[in-house]
Structures are given as C-alpha cells and as structure tokens.
C-alpha cells in the first residue's frame, strides 16, 4: 500500500501554479479524450436505511485508460501520492476545509500531465460541471494559512484508489477524487457501476465573480421557493432551528445530521416542486447523465410529501442565511459560513452509500 505524505507548499509554487493554470476549451478536451481512448420540528430523514439507489453503469474501460495514462505520466514521487490501494484509510474521509491532503496537487502538474488530468475530468463531469469546478477554483484566493498550509486555485489534490499507472486488467473496485478548500468531488466504481457520486461540495469566499453571483442559480431559486410558501405554512419552513455557523451536514456521517423542521413541498405552494426540481436538476447536470441517472430517478420518484424545504436566517439573500431540501434519497444544503454573507457553501449528499461510508467484499481487491 502506498503511504500518503503531506507535501509542504510555498507561496512561490502556489502563485506559480496559479499563473500556469488554465482552463482548456471544450474543443481541446474532446481532442485530448479522442487521442487517449480513441419534516415538522422533529422531522428529519426517516428512520431506517435510506432507499437503495441502483448503481449506474459507466464506460469503465475508457475511464480507466485515461486515468492510467495520467498516473503513468507522473514521476515516482507524484505517483506514490496520487495512487493508493482501495483499502487505504484516507478513502473513508473527506473535507472541504483548508489543510494538508493526500494526493498530487494541480500546481505540480506539467502541461502534458494537465491535459491528461483534464481529459479524465471531462469524462467524469459534464461540460457544465467542468466549467463550474473551474469557476469555484478561480474564486479561491492564494492564502498562507500558516503551518505550511496554503490555499489557492491550484492547491487541489488528486487521488486515485485501486489504480496505478501500470497496464493491467481493470480492477473490480476503484475510486477517484479531487479535493481542496471549497471543493470535493469524486466517485467510487465497482465493476462497471458507479456506486457513489457524493458528497459533491462547492464553496466560495466570494459572493460574486466577474460572471455574477457564484451561487445565484441555486440560492435565488430557493428564495423563490420560500416566497411561494403560503402564509399559513411559512412558520413550518422557518421552524428549522437557529442559524448554524456552517452546513449542518458538514463532513458528518448521515447518522449525525440534524435536519429538523421544514415544510413538505406538497404544502409549499403550487410551484414548489418545479423549483426544487430546478435546484436538484441543475446540480445533477454537472455530471454526465449516465453517472447520475439513478440519483435522478430516485429524486423524481419521491412524493412531494416526503421532501421538506427549510430556510434559516435572514430572508434577504444578501444577508446570512441557510436553506436545505431534504429527501430520503438526497439532501441539498446551502449555508453562509461563519456569519459572512459573502462566504457560501453548497453540498449534495446521499444519506447512505457515499464514498466515505460504502464497504463490501470488493475492498479485498488490491
């Protein structure tokens, strides 16, 4: 098993990585791929296990080929940090906070390695997803956090489990992720099926960037949903406890989530479900349809009575607030962090079966 080792980061390498970083156009990405692969106050999530989501089939061989070519392009030290066994302890944890991480950082990649990584990412996200991730990275300022920890647009760590750069048969189980301050996304794949595509976390310390509000699509929609709640039900939408300092789900397992309160969509106005569908659908569209079809099916099959919407804090979106959509199969949560209305966190979670929680006989694989 490869041992993950923290790597110190200097202001010089971080800023240099920012200058070297670039967003490839869709045309370049396509060309690269072609070259490579040819509740009421006490309500929360209902007790018992969450509804099973049938894993989604994917084209595993082509994705493994891209991943292996990327890993093979790394030097020995980079590869020892970018690749680990599927049983490595760090596969079971995740964080969107600043801090040291296992993996190889974006700022360490040369131009050819960068093309290979972005080709892999283009296969794992939709074009809209690639653009959204790049936008999140671009809002992250270069910051010396002390103790050798830096954040910035290039300080994001890539980590594969169950794969290395050597030619071999496709492993039964493998996973990938990219993670840093305000970003976590990845997948766990068993055989030819995605068994986990969450958590999916996006954050920003900036409310606006040159394109507008970073989270306007989701936050403005949630405000419209709140505005449509009938007067006799609004107190239920707001009966969700005090304004927290951050996401209630945070990095916690589902058993520790406190998601009380909220109004069922069936009682939240005639347009409530359509607006909720827009919020959830927009997030799901950040991944290819074949990667999220099972989650979408589970969401669409959930009755309005079983989905709750809650809003906490100021009704004015320019002030601190939090909102959430809670269903048996998924949770979407947005929160301002630390009382800062410019600092937003948005996450999509699945109450069961996340990469950090899933296990099985396949973990015996190398």
The domain ranges of the chain are 11-201, 208-349
Whether the CB-CB separation of 282 and 217 falls below 8 Å is answered with yes
- Taking the C-alpha atoms of residue 105 and residue 158, their distance in angstroms, rounded to an integer, is 6
- Taking the C-alpha atoms of residue 10 and residue 313, their distance in angstroms, rounded to an integer, is 39
Degrees, nearest 5: CA angle 213-219-225:
145
Predicted pLDDT at 55 = 57
Average pLDDT for residues 106-127, to the nearest whole number? 97
Q: Which of 199, 169, 213 is nearest to 64 (CA)?
A: 169
Residues making up the chain, counted from first to last: 366
Residue 190 pLDDT > 70, yes or no? yes
Q: Exposed, middle or buried by CB within 10 Å (0-12, 13-18, 19+), for 242?
A: exposed
Neighbouring-strand partners of residue 326? 308, 331
Tokens of 256: 């520790």
Residue 360 pLDDT > 80, yes or no? no
Q: Which residue has the higher pLDDT, 145 or 79?
A: 79
Percentage of the chain surpassing pLDDT 90?
61
Residue 149 pLDDT > 60, yes or no? yes
Predicted pLDDT at 292 = 86
Q: Which of 6-10, 17-21, 141-145 has the lowest mean pLDDT?
A: 6-10
Largest CA distance in the chain: 64
Mean pLDDT, the chain, rounded, equals 83
276-326 residue pLDDT tens: 999 999 999 999 988 888 889 999 999 999 999 999 999 999 999 999 999
Average pLDDT for residues 340-360, to the nearest whole number? 78
- Taking the C-alpha atoms of residue 73 and residue 36, their distance in angstroms, rounded to an integer, is 13
Instruction: State which H helix or E strand residue 138 sits in.
Output: helix 127-138
Say which residue the tokens 């700022």 belong to. 107
Residue 151 φ/ψ, nearest 5 degrees: -125, 160
Residue 83 pLDDT > 90, yes or no? yes
Q: Which residue has the higher pLDDT, 221 or 295?
A: 221
């Amino acid at each position: 098993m490869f041992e993950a080792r923290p790597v110190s980061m200097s202001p010089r390498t971080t800023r240099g990585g920012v200058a070297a970083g670039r967003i490839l156009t869709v045309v370049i990405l396509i060309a690269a791929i072609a070259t490579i692969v040819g509740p009421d106050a006490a309500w929360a999530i209902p007790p018992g296990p969450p509804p099973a989501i049938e894993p989604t089939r994917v084209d595993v061989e082509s994705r493994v080929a891209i991943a292996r070519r990327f890993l093979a392009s790394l030097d020995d030290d980079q590869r020892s940090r970018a690749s680990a066994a599927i049983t490595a302890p760090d596969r079971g944890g995740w964080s969107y906070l600043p801090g040291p991480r296992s993996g190889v950082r974006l700022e360490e990649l040369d131009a050819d390695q960068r093309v290979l990584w972005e080709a892999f990412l283009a296969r794992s996200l939709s074009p809209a997803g690639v653009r959204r991730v790049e936008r999140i990275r671009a809002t992250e300022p270069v910051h010396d956090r002390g103790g050798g920890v830096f954040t910035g647009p290039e300080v994001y760590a890539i980590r594969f489990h169950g794969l290395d750069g050597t030619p071999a048969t496709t492993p039964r189980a493998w996973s990938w992720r990219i993670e840093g301050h305000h970003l976590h996304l990845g997948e766990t794949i068993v055989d030819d099926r995605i068994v986990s595509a969450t958590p999916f976390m996006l954050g920003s310390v900036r409310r606006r960037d040159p394109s507008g509000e970073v989270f306007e699509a989701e936050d403005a929609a949630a405000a419209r949903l709140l505005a449509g709640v009938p007067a006799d039900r609004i107190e239920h939408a707001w009966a969700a406890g005090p304004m927290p300092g951050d996401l209630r789900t945070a990095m916690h397992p589902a058993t520790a989530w406190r998601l009380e309160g909220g109004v069922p969509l069936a009682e939240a106005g005639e347009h409530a479900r359509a607006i909720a569908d827009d919020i959830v659908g927009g997030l799901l569209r950040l991944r290819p349809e074949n990667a999220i079809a099972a989650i979408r099916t589970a969401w669409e099959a959930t009755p309005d009575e079983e989905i709750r919407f809650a809003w906490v804090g100021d009704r004015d979106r320019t002030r601190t607030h939090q909102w959430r959509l809670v269903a048996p199969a998924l949770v979407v949560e947005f929160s301002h962090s630390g009382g800062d209305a410019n600092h937003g966190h948005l996450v999509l979670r699945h109450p069961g079966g996340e990469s950090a929680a899933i296990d099985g006989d396949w973990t015996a694989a190398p």
